[in-house]
Amino acid sequence: MLRAVFLSLTLLVAGWSQAQHHAQADSLPAQHAAVAGHAEEAEFNAGKLIMGHIGDEHGWHIAGDFSLPLPVIIYDTQRGLKVFSSSRFEHGHAAYDGYLLHDGRIHAVDAAGGVDEAASKNIWDISITKNVLTAFVVLTLVVLTFFAVAKGYRRRTGQAPKGLQSLLEPIILFVRDDVAKGAIGDKKYERFMPFLLTAFFFILFSNLLGLVPFFPGGANLTGNIAVTFTLAVIVLLIVTFNGNRHYWGHILAMPGVPPWVLIILTPVEILGMFLKPFVLMIRLFANIAAGHIIAMSFFSLIFVFGATSAAAGYGVSVVSLLFTIFMFFLEILVAFIQAYVFTFLSALYIGAAVEESHEHKESLV
């Protein structure tokens, strides 16, 4: 609720300031139109800053005018594979080899230097973007962390955990005992533990790294709908391919239900198969993206109010800084909560797919 209230207030203030700006621009006399156009280009744009931060990029802004160029890899059905550095685009101000970076997307350029929409449809962009590089960084951190923990266990066999072991062991035991065993069962949880642990720590590390305000942090990885969509699809595939006869029987033809009711119930159950991972995707995406939007909105308020007067800018900066610090600690908590929620719900869906019927359990007893 706090996140929703802060997000609503900051967006309302940003929208109000933008409306005031347009109203002032409309009231300018005609002879000042050219001057107003240049002022509008130089004026701070809160929406552009926020959307640029939460979106993906073909380069990684470090500080000031310095950016880390990333590899651009595109496949053009007309011209074949093209590989070059994103620095060729000069931050979107120049075209290179018939291509132009515009609004975060690569477009084909016509003879006049404009965007060729028809030719742009032939482009498949598989570049190493900011989020892709962040994903590699997170995976590297996860692998190195657990190699270090495994090495510590080999060296200290039978001894109490120490250092990084003592930090991660309670989390691993929590995922095993309270998440996997509780949702899937004591007999079948082990085969799904690698996925559940990988998903938990990948999301957790991504969330925490996104809170770091300098390179290689600050990326909105789990706040990207494509990333959460991929995680949700993996959960759907695991549930689908591990579902037993009891699971599919309740989806396609629920026992004890009249046939005429199944005409309505079966499509609803099939739809529910896809709605469950869809909820996972939206929940993780919305919570992480909202946190980044709120943090950037607080910073934007400094410049929005500073455009009216220097005193207002300095006054709002104090409040914005305090709220940003508060939101930072709140986002640390949210990082753990969202990793837990995604893992727990995934375990619940997997547990429902592999659960045996009551008759089968009684026969085993």
Tell me, what's the pLDDT at 118? Answer: 84
Least confident range from 35-49, 218-232, 343-357: namely 35-49
Q: Both 178 and 297 in a single domain?
A: yes
Facing residues of 80 across strands? Answer: 76
Decide if pLDDT at 38 tops 70.
no
User: Which tokens belong to 287?
Assistant: 């919570």
Tell me, what's the pLDDT at 275? Answer: 92
Q: Both 199 and 314 in a single domain?
A: yes
5 or 231: which carries more pLDDT confidence?
Answer: 231
Facing residues of 124 across strands? Answer: 75
pLDDT band at 193 (very low <50, low <70, confident <90, very high): very high
Q: Report yes or no on 363 lying in a domain.
A: no
Tell me, what's the pLDDT at 30? Answer: 39
For 133-162, the pLDDT digits (tens) are 999 999 999 999 999 988 888 888 878 888
pLDDT band at 6 (very low <50, low <70, confident <90, very high): very low
- Do β-strands 66-69 and 115-116 pair in parallel, antiparallel, or remain unpaired? unpaired
Q: Both 289 and 149 in a single domain?
A: yes
Q: Report yes or no on 54 lying in a domain.
A: no
* Number of domains present in the structure of the chain: 3
Q: Both 40 and 92 in a single domain?
A: no
Q: What is the mean pLDDT of the chain?
A: 82
Decide if pLDDT at 263 tops 80.
yes
Q: Report yes or no on 329 lying in a domain.
A: yes
Q: Both 206 and 238 in a single domain?
A: yes
Facing residues of 75 across strands? Answer: 81, 124
d(CA 202, CA 142): 7
d(CA 54, CA 362): 52
Under 8 Å between Cβ of 220 and 104: no
pLDDT band at 347 (very low <50, low <70, confident <90, very high): very high
Q: Report yes or no on 59 lying in a domain.
A: no
Q: Give the mean model confidence (pLDDT) for residues 61-71.
A: 82
Predicted TM-score (pTM) of the model is: 0.82
Tell me, what's the pLDDT at 315? Answer: 84
Q: Both 107 and 203 in a single domain?
A: no
User: Which tokens belong to 312?
Assistant: 């207002």
Q: Report yes or no on 215 lying in a domain.
A: yes
pLDDT band at 14 (very low <50, low <70, confident <90, very high): very low
Q: Both 352 and 222 in a single domain?
A: yes
Provide the residue range defining the domain that includes 17: 2-48
Q: What percent of the chain has pLDDT over 90?
A: 37
Which helix (H) or strand (E) segment holds residue 73: the answer is strand 71-76
